[in-house]
Amino acid sequence: MQYPDVQTQMAKYYTYDPKLGVANAGYKGRHILWLDKCTGCQLCSIACENISQAIEMVKVPSVIKPQNKKTLYPQVDYAKCVFCGLCVDACPFYALGMTEDFNLVSTSKKALVYSPEKLAIPPNVTRKKVEFKIENGEAFHD
């Protein structure tokens, strides 16, 4: 498999269900923030505080939602994030998930700090995805 042209098929979003207390299996890549659900409670930021301090709450005046009067939303600094997913496990409002987009290269450290609006955009993975197949005693990909 030639990586820069293709990538493997990954599992879907990694999300956490606070009612059941378990997460759903998925790939832990870039975060995705559902602005309709986030209340600005800062639990994700507190969870990340002693791990890598990658989440910071910022005020976003342009996004006005009924459940978030103070317009506080998390921003993620991907230069520090270790992609452990404990922030997703801490959110009680189904607002944070992790997608399968891991290609976050950029040429400046400022561009690695993703603002809440940027996190809300669903990922757009344009590479062709292949899946490993094992048949007749041989492993290959299509």
Partner 1 sequence: MSVGSAFVTEKISDDKLTLSIGPQHPGAGHFRFTVTIEGDTIVDCVPDPGYVHRGAEKQTEYRTFLQSIPLLERSSLTDVTNIIMPFSMAAEELMGIQIPPRAQYLRMIMSENQRILSHLYWLGIQGIFLGHSTVFMWPLGDRELFIDLGQMIGGARITYSYAIPGGVRNDMPDNFKDRALKVFDYFESRLKDYEKIFFNNPLVLKRTQGVGVLPRAEAIRLGVVGQTLRASGVKSDTRIDEPYNFYKDINFEVPTYNSCDTWARCMVHLAEMRQSMNIMRQCLGKMPQGPVRVRLSPQQRAQAGEAYTRVEAARGALAFHIISDGTTRPYRVKISVPSFRNLIALSRLLIGSHVADMPAIYWSLDYWPVEADR
| Comparison of 60 and 90: residue with beta carbon closer to partner 1 | 90
For the CB of residue 85, give the shortest distance to partner 1 in the complex, in Å.
7
- Integer Cα distance of 30 and 65 in angstroms: 23
Residue 14, C-beta contacts closer than 8 angstroms, at least 6 positions apart: 23, 24, 25, 26, 27, 28, 85, 88, 97, 98, 99
x/- contact string, 36-65, with partner 1 (CB under 8 A)? ----------xx--xxx-------------
Residue 38 is which amino acid? Answer: C
Q: Is the dihedral of CA 110, 115, 117, 118 positive or negative?
A: positive
For the CB of residue 102, give the shortest distance to partner 1 in the complex, in Å.
9
Q: Which of 55, 74, 89, 116 binds partner 1 (CB under 8 A)?
A: 89
Residue 18 DSSP class: T
Residue 141's alpha-carbon distances to 1, 4, 127, in angstroms, are 7, 15, 15
Contact 28, 98 (CB under 8 A): yes
113-142 binders of partner 1 (CB under 8 A):
132, 134, 137-139
Residue 117 is which amino acid? Answer: E
For the CB of residue 57, give the shortest distance to partner 1 in the complex, in Å.
17
For the CB of residue 33, give the shortest distance to partner 1 in the complex, in Å.
18
Stretch that binds partner 1, among 30-38, 59-67, 76-84, 104-112 (CB under 8 A): 76-84
List contacts with partner 1 (CB under 8 A).
8, 10-11, 14, 21-28, 46-47, 50-52, 82-86, 89-90, 98, 132, 134, 137-139
